Every structure is written in structure tokens, then in C-alpha cells.
Amino acid sequence: MTNQQLIERRRKALGPAYSHFYDKPLHLVKGQGVWMWDDQGKRYLDCYNNVASVGHCHPHVVEALCGQARTLNTHTRYLHENVVGFAETLASKMPGELSVCMPVCTGTEANDLAVQIARVATGRHGCIVAEHSYHGNSTLVHDLSTSERFGDPDPDWLATVEPPDTYRGPFREGENDLGAKYAGLVSKSIQKLEARGHQLAVFMVESAWENQGIMQAPQDYLNHAAAFVRDAGGLVVADEVQSGYCRMGAHWWGFKHYDIIPDIVTLGKPMGNGHPLGAVVTTPAIVEKFAERYEYFNTFGGNPVSAAVGQAVIEVIDNENLLANATEVGAYLEGQLQELADRYDMIGELRGRGLFWGLDLVSDPDTREPISKEELRRITTDAAKQGTLVATMGRYGNVMKIRPPLVFSRDNVDHLINALDTVFARAN
Amino acid sequence: MTNQQLIERRRKALGPAYSHFYDKPLHLVKGQGVWMWDDQGKRYLDCYNNVASVGHCHPHVVEALCGQARTLNTHTRYLHENVVGFAETLASKMPGELSVCMPVCTGTEANDLAVQIARVATGRHGCIVAEHSYHGNSTLVHDLSTSERFGDPDPDWLATVEPPDTYRGPFREGENDLGAKYAGLVSKSIQKLEARGHQLAVFMVESAWENQGIMQAPQDYLNHAAAFVRDAGGLVVADEVQSGYCRMGAHWWGFKHYDIIPDIVTLGKPMGNGHPLGAVVTTPAIVEKFAERYEYFNTFGGNPVSAAVGQAVIEVIDNENLLANATEVGAYLEGQLQELADRYDMIGELRGRGLFWGLDLVSDPDTREPISKEELRRITTDAAKQGTLVATMGRYGNVMKIRPPLVFSRDNVDHLINALDTVFARAN
């Protein structure tokens, strides 16, 4: 069967709502560490994957999955040590009072549950998210995902806020008090909600601002913003689906880079190295209020197999020192990407931390006019032809997303930089 | 560590929103076929499980899981044969135009996505569900789960309808035109919605009425109801999380017992034999309308590992003739349960099909006064002590739920009946 035939079967079987990466869709059949192989045996360096975060098919994770799947898979209405041990291990990575873990199956489920908990705990309904946000795909979380709006009006209980984009936003690098200025916009959004009769329950923040094209916020932005949120009686929900699990280097969590402790943390993608696993982590005080009114049960969430997988992923991160690797290889990657940025006018700005970087591509470095998303898609398709997988993000679809597994090495960085050098030279 | 210590650790690590089965929570450590074992080595016959539906730790399913987990786990933005093949296989089990399958991770995600699709396809917003419904736990699906309301008002776009309860409902066995009468209530709910300014998008029906304590609806009820729904411009969404996958015997799907073809079908629990897997199945025409406005992507939904598991479960059902088994052993189970019902006044009514039965327990067979849920919990706890796992359901928490894996045998039926005989004799 040709790939064209598979694409046609796929369109019929899954329907037309699914898209492909790259102009020529890849048919991948094998993964190992940072490498993937297509159906022709061609090898690709995976520089875009925070799902297979400890490396494709990591043997310790696969062994944990298979061992438990052979023994027992059941739900949380029976006692089982796996889910308790996993929740305790996860909590041990969290700061402050964040000691209660509620396992779910996806990041969407985590964000949806977090809002439910926050609304019950605060007795309020209003939410604030960043412009061009993406937090998942349930009905509620779709409402919180303003990048997916396509002309639908925002719900009345939602206010948006400009992300701290110091490259193209209303306040830019070089100005004074950038953190306070961007946090002031959060305060204004709270007032907008209140003027519409909605008290604030949730300020949901993704501290990598991935969907917006990665932001490095002014250092004091989140502390200022959190103060406004808490003064108004709301809770800070950190969506760490993208920025968590050592992704940004130096710390386990993205929010730690800004020295805040959220009230609720949501987790997804990298937790199970591909196995469907997510979680809400919060404080005993907050969850007590929720539990006064509601029980929570998730048929698959926290089953012994998923818990074994979650535990194994954390063990790999600890045993292989992947936080240190993300920090050290991340620093090398930053340096190499900066050199590339210095050589190509098309790279308007390099932003990121650890093993999560964005190259903001522009047609004119002075006006900062973004290249078209079609142009970036041509570039990422060309990189895939070179055997290097990168992706796209950002409000204008012009930011190249580089987000390799945590086991990425300096050699892998060199391979990536060579490939990017080739494709940028061709694109210029 | 004692179980009491594990319970305390669990309450701290997962928080207080989780409950246990049975007055003395079970600590299960192993499962094989229809059997489970606790931490003391005691064996239990699992008569309550449509998750491990083809039997605990089925080797063909475990092998499919492990084989693919060792090879590649990635997402649907790359081409992969597994998800296409699985979607095709699942569609081949469906009647009519139900040929498009969108894989997700849970039944909740399936129901949430189904409503999103139906609302876009119809351009309408209103929903109708049965009283005391349960469809899942996202914010939207919680709104559709009226049994979890705890005093909160229904949203304005929701109307409820009495389920076809011919034992305690407004129209009872012996009356004429029961199907038309219960369907008339659906028509009234449509009018109520329209009077509030909401046109009907979705009539969501779970054709086992599990949460209400299992109903056997009048044969023509769903056809009459569907006609009202479609005349009003709405879609029929069959939530087959409980009733699907051969559970009710004779047919793969619960709705087939009523000879209707829904517009959208949602699936969950038994699809992955414990692995987090769900799906929305619908027609090309409906999904085309959705895809005109929205893209759909679910990070874990339809990954090659989940698809391999889903395919393996269907293979086991086909290869081991589990549909025929559910029909034949189900008929034997019905006969044995009926004998038990004839002997104990406490059993007010036996309802169900195939391998899904409810014993409606009453303190007085004439008034049909339900026993208290505490009393049933004592009975199911006693059954667990006898090594037999059953559960509870129903509007009054008084219906014993018997829902064994599809591999249940006549010997297993005899074991179950002996245990129930013992506990009912003691409870009388």
C-alpha cells in the first residue's frame, strides 16, 4: 500500500477533521531514543516531541507498562499501591502545599477538572487566559483556547489578556517596568469580568506561552499578576502540560522560573511518555472544598498500569539526570541557535529555555513582519526531508518549534543545527 | 503496610474526592480472566466489570500493547496504519452510514466531542438527557449527568426526560402504548427547550439506562423518540459506553435491540480492556460539517499503541465468539437470576439483557419501596466477603449491578448464584 492510499483510507476512516504535519505527511513506523524511522527505513532526529519525553520506547517505561498490564489493570475504587505511590512521588516534586494529585488521562481532562475544582472552591465562575491560548479540546477547555475560536464570540465568563510578548506586544524590550505593565493588563481583565458580573475564579497561565510562540516573560510578571488574581479572590492555575517535567531546564516546572507557587497545577503530555496520562495537583485546602460537594471518579485515571508508567517516567528522569541534561544540553543548544540567529536575518528572535526553543521568523527584521505560515511549513517540510523533525507555533504560525526529548545530546544539537543551517540557507 | 495505612496514604495523596467500593475496601493485586486476587491471596469472581471486558490481562491484548509500545508510540499528525486499520474495523461493526471513527481516550471525551460535533452540525445548542443520567465528568458532560447535580440548577440549554421505567415510572407495565407515552415525554422536553429559546441539537440516550438501574424500554420507544428528535432538527447520540461491545448479547450495540440507527455513537470503557480508549463514531455528512469549521487533535487519542489495543480487543471478541457467549451464557444467567427472584421477595424486579443485569431490591414487593443504598452496600460488601464482586446502581441506589466480563461461563454463573443465594438468605 502506498502512503497516498493510506492517506485516502485515513481520510475516510477518521474523517476530514484531522490534519498532517508537513506538506508531505510522514509515515513513521519505529522510534528509539531521539530517533524515528519511516516506512522506507529513513531515519529522523526527533526535535519536536515532549510526549516521548524520556526518549521513544524507553525500555524502563515499556517494562513497567508491560509488567503491570500482565498483572492487573483496574480502577481507583479498589485499593492499589501504584496510584498512591505515584501520587506521592509526583507531589514530592512540587513546591509548597501542592500535595494532592488527581490522576486523569489527558491534559484536556486535567484543565477541565482544574476549572471545576477552582470554581467550586472559590464559588466563582470567571476565567482569564492569554490571547491565542491553547489548553485542550473539551467544550469548556475549547472555550479557554482562544486560538481555536475561528470567529465564535468569547463566552461571557471569559476575559483574555495579552501575553507578555516583549517582541511584538504592546510593551517591548527596553521599556521600564515591563512585568508590572503586563500584569496591569491582568488587573484590567479582572475588572472587565467584574463589570460583566463575573467574579474571577481562575487565571490559567501556561508559563512557556507555547501556543503564542514561546515567551520569556519579564521576571516579575507572574508574581505581579498572581497578586492581582489573589486579591480579587481567584486562583492561579498553572498549565504545565508544555512547560513542566524538566522541559525548560533548571527546574522541574516552568512556573519555578518565575518564583511563584500556583494554587493548582495541570499536567499532561510528557507524564506517560506517550501513554494517556495527566493529572491535577493542588492543595489539601482547595480539594477539601471540592470534595464537600462532589465525588470524583475517572474510569481509567489512576489505574495501576498508568500509575506504573507515570512512576517509571519519573524514575528515568531522576536516574538518568535528565533535568541536568535539559539544563546543560539546553545551554549548548541556546548558544548554537543564537549563532544561527546571528547569521540569518530571517530569525527575528530566539526565545526559550532548556530544551524548548522558538525561532521567530520574519520577512523583515526591522518591521518584525512574520513570515507566512505556509512559508514556515515549507521550511519544516524541507527539514523533515533532511531527516530533522521540527514543528510550528505562534499567533502568526511563523515560529519554528524546537522541543526535543529530554535525552537530547550535544551531538544531536550539532545534527539539528547543521540541518537548520541547510534549510535556512535554501529559504533565504 | 496494612490496608488501613494504605487507605490513609491514599486519602492524603489523592485527596478526599475519591470513594471506595464496599464498606471494607478491597486491595486487589492480580487479575486473570474473570478472577481477581487480593493482597492476602483471596480469590474473587469479578461479576462487575465491563472495563476488563474480554477478561483481566487477556494475553492477546497485553501482547498487542507491549509489542507496539516497544516499537513506536506517537500521535495522529503522522501517518500510521494502526489507527486507520482500527477505525476501519470498528466501523465494520456499525450499521448504516456510521463509518467515521474519531478515537479519544475516555468515554467522557467521546461524549464531550459528540456534543461539540452535533452542535456545529446542527447549528443548535439544546440537549436532552434522561433523569438521573450519567455520561461522564468534563464540565459539559457533568452538565449532562443529572445524577451528579446535588442541587445545582440545570443549565438553560438542557432538558431532562423520565427514563422508560415501567416498574416505578409514570407509565407502567400492563398499560397500552407505553413506547408512545414515554416518547411523548421526549416531545414535551423538546417543546420546553424551544420555549426557553433553545433549539434541540442532541438527544443523548444510553440504551441500557444503567445509571437509572437498567431499563428494558418498550420496544418502540426509541424509534418514536428518534422521530420527534429528528423532526425537531436534532441528532440522536447513543452513549454506548455501557451498552456497547456485545454487553447486552445478541448484537454488538445496545441500540440495535431497539432497531434504530443513531446519528452519533460514543464509546469508552470496554474498548481497551482497561487501556484508556474511547471513540466517537458518526456519518461522513455530520463530520464534514464539523470539519468545515474545526480541526480535531487529541495528543494521545488514536496513538499506535492504543489503536493496537483496540484492534486486539475486537479480535478477541471475534475469535473467541464472545458475542455468542454473552447471548448464551446471558440467557442461562437470566434464567438463574429469575429463579432467585422467584424465591426472594426482596427482589422486586429483574431487568437486563445478555451479560448486564439489575436486581431491583425492595423492602415491600407491593409498594415497590426500594431498600436503602446503605442496605444494598451491606449486601454487596457481604457478597465480596463471599468472594463475589457485584456493585450498585439506580436512582435510589437499590439496584444490584451484575455485569461480568464477556468471557463469563455457566460455571461462573453457578458460582455467582450460590453466592447471591447466601447473601440474600442472610439479608432477609
**Between residues 117 and 176 of chain B, which touch chain A (CB distance below 8 Å)?**
137-140, 142, 148, 150
Whether residue B144 sits in one domain with residue B41: no
Mean pLDDT of all residues in B20-35:
93
Whether residue B229 sits in one domain with residue B341: no
Whether residue B14 sits in one domain with residue B49: yes
Residues of chain A positioned with their CB less than 8 A from the CB of B150 = 293-294
Confidence band of B312 (pLDDT split at 50, 70, 90):
very high
Asked if residue A183 lies in contact with residue A229, where contact means CB atoms within 8 angstroms, the answer is: no
Judge: A275–B305 Cβ closer than 8 Å, yes or no.
yes
* Among candidates B7, B77, B303 on the partner chain, residue whose Cβ is nearest the Cβ of A21: B77
Whether residue B351 sits in one domain with residue B221: no
Whether residue A122 sits in one domain with residue A11: no
Q: Which residues contact B231 (CB under 8 A, 6 or more apart)?
A: none
Pick the closest to residue A355 from A332, A326, A328 (CA basis). A326
Residues of chain A positioned with their CB less than 8 A from the CB of B83 = 10, 13-14
Residue at which a domain ends, from B319, B344, B367: B319
pLDDT of residue B35: 98
**Between residues 78 and 107 of chain B, which touch chain A (CB distance below 8 Å)?**
78-81, 83-84, 87-88, 91, 99-103, 105-107
A401 interface with B at CB cutoff 8 Å: no
Share of chain B above pLDDT 90, in %: 97
**Between residues 17 and 46 of chain A, which touch chain B (CB distance below 8 Å)?**
17-21, 25-31, 36
Q: In terms of residue numbers, what domain contains A262?
A: 59-319
Instruction: Identify each DSSP E strand in A52-178 by its residue range.
Output: 100-104, 126-130, 158-161
Residue of B nearest to A309 (CA): B69
Domain count, chain A: 2
B337-390 pLDDT per residue, tens: 999 999 999 999 999 999 999 999 999 999 999 999 999 999 999 999 999 999
pLDDT of residue B24: 85
CB pairs under 8 A between A and B: 311
Judge: B9–A88 Cβ closer than 8 Å, yes or no.
yes
Whether residue A166 sits in one domain with residue A139: yes
Judge: B72–A30 Cβ closer than 8 Å, yes or no.
yes
All three cell numbers of B121, joined, read 452540525
Residues of chain B positioned with their CB less than 8 A from the CB of A106 = 105-106, 109, 298-301
Whether residue A227 sits in one domain with residue A146: yes
pLDDT of residue A247: 98
Residues of chain B positioned with their CB less than 8 A from the CB of A56 = 72-74
A223 interface with B at CB cutoff 8 Å: no
B142 CA: distance to closest CA in chain A (Å): 10
Residues of chain A positioned with their CB less than 8 A from the CB of B148 = 294
Residue at which a domain ends, from B272, B304, B319: B319
DSSP state, B80?
Answer: -
Residues of chain B positioned with their CB less than 8 A from the CB of A30 = 71-72
Query: Of B22, B42, B61, B74, which to mutate for an interface test with A (greatest number of A Cβ within 10 Å)?
Result: B74
Pick the closest to residue B352 from B238, B250, B220 (CA basis). B250
What stretch of H or E contains B143?
A: helix B139-143
pLDDT at B20 > cutoff 90: no
Residue at which a domain ends, from A286, A319, A352: A319
B364 CA: distance to closest CA in chain A (Å): 31
Residues of chain B positioned with their CB less than 8 A from the CB of A99 = 12-13
Residues of chain A positioned with their CB less than 8 A from the CB of B140 = 138-140
Whether residue B207 sits in one domain with residue B230: yes
Cα-Cα-Cα-Cα dihedral of B346, B350, B355, B356, to 10°? -90
Residues of chain A positioned with their CB less than 8 A from the CB of B308 = none
DSSP line for B34-74: TEEEETT--EEEE-B-SSSTT-BT-HHHHHHHHHHHHH---
* Among candidates B9, B76, B276 on the partner chain, residue whose Cβ is nearest the Cβ of A276: B276
B120-168 pLDDT per residue, tens: 999 999 999 999 999 999 999 999 999 998 888 999 999 999 999 999 9
A51 interface with B at CB cutoff 8 Å: yes
A22-62 pLDDT per residue, tens: 888 999 999 999 999 999 999 999 999 899 999 999 999 99
A76 interface with B at CB cutoff 8 Å: yes
Asked if residue B300 lies in contact with residue A276, where contact means CB atoms within 8 angstroms, the answer is: yes
Judge: B19–A295 Cβ closer than 8 Å, yes or no.
yes
All three cell numbers of B68, joined, read 507496539
**Between residues 292 and 351 of chain B, which touch chain A (CB distance below 8 Å)?**
293-303, 305-306
Indicate whether this complex's ipTM tops 0.95. Answer: yes
Query: In angstroms, rounded to a whole number, what is the distance separating the alpha carbons of residues A305 and B184?
Result: 46
Judge: A303–B274 Cβ closer than 8 Å, yes or no.
yes
| Domain harbouring B77, CATH code | 3.40.640.10
A76 CA: distance to closest CA in chain B (Å): 8
* Among candidates B7, B21, B30 on the partner chain, residue whose Cβ is nearest the Cβ of A71: B30
| Domain harbouring B366, CATH code | 3.90.1150.10
pLDDT of residue A105: 98
Distance of CA A362 to the CA centre of its chain: 24
pLDDT of residue B150: 81
Whether residue B138 sits in one domain with residue B100: yes
Whether residue A366 sits in one domain with residue A290: no
Whether residue B400 sits in one domain with residue B355: yes
Whether residue A277 sits in one domain with residue A155: yes
B266 interface with A at CB cutoff 8 Å: no
Query: Cα separations (Å) of B131 from A388, B222, B223, B310, B311?
Result: 54, 16, 19, 32, 35
Low pLDDT (below 50) residues in chain A:
none
* Among candidates B66, B83, B287 on the partner chain, residue whose Cβ is nearest the Cβ of A17: B287
Query: In angstroms, rounded to a whole number, what is the distance separating the alpha carbons of residues A126 and A111?
Result: 15
Residues of chain A positioned with their CB less than 8 A from the CB of B78 = 20-21, 25-28
Pick the closest to residue B82 from A130, A271, A9 (CA basis). A9
* Among candidates B76, B78, B299 on the partner chain, residue whose Cβ is nearest the Cβ of A269: B299
* Among candidates A30, A275, A291 on the partner chain, residue whose Cβ is nearest the Cβ of B17: A291
Judge: A112–B139 Cβ closer than 8 Å, yes or no.
yes
Share of chain B above pLDDT 70, in %: 100
Judge: B80–A28 Cβ closer than 8 Å, yes or no.
yes
Query: In angstroms, rounded to a whole number, what is the distance separating the alpha carbons of residues B117 and B126?
Result: 13
Backbone dihedral angles phi then psi of residue B8, each to the nearest 5 degrees: -70, -45
DSSP line for A251-314: SSSGGGGGT---SEEEE-GGGGBTBS-EEEEE-HHHHHHHHHH-----SSTT-HHHHHHHHHHH
pLDDT of residue B21: 86
All three cell numbers of A246, joined, read 524538566
DSSP state, B343?
Answer: H
Backbone dihedral angles phi then psi of residue A234, each to the nearest 5 degrees: -95, 170
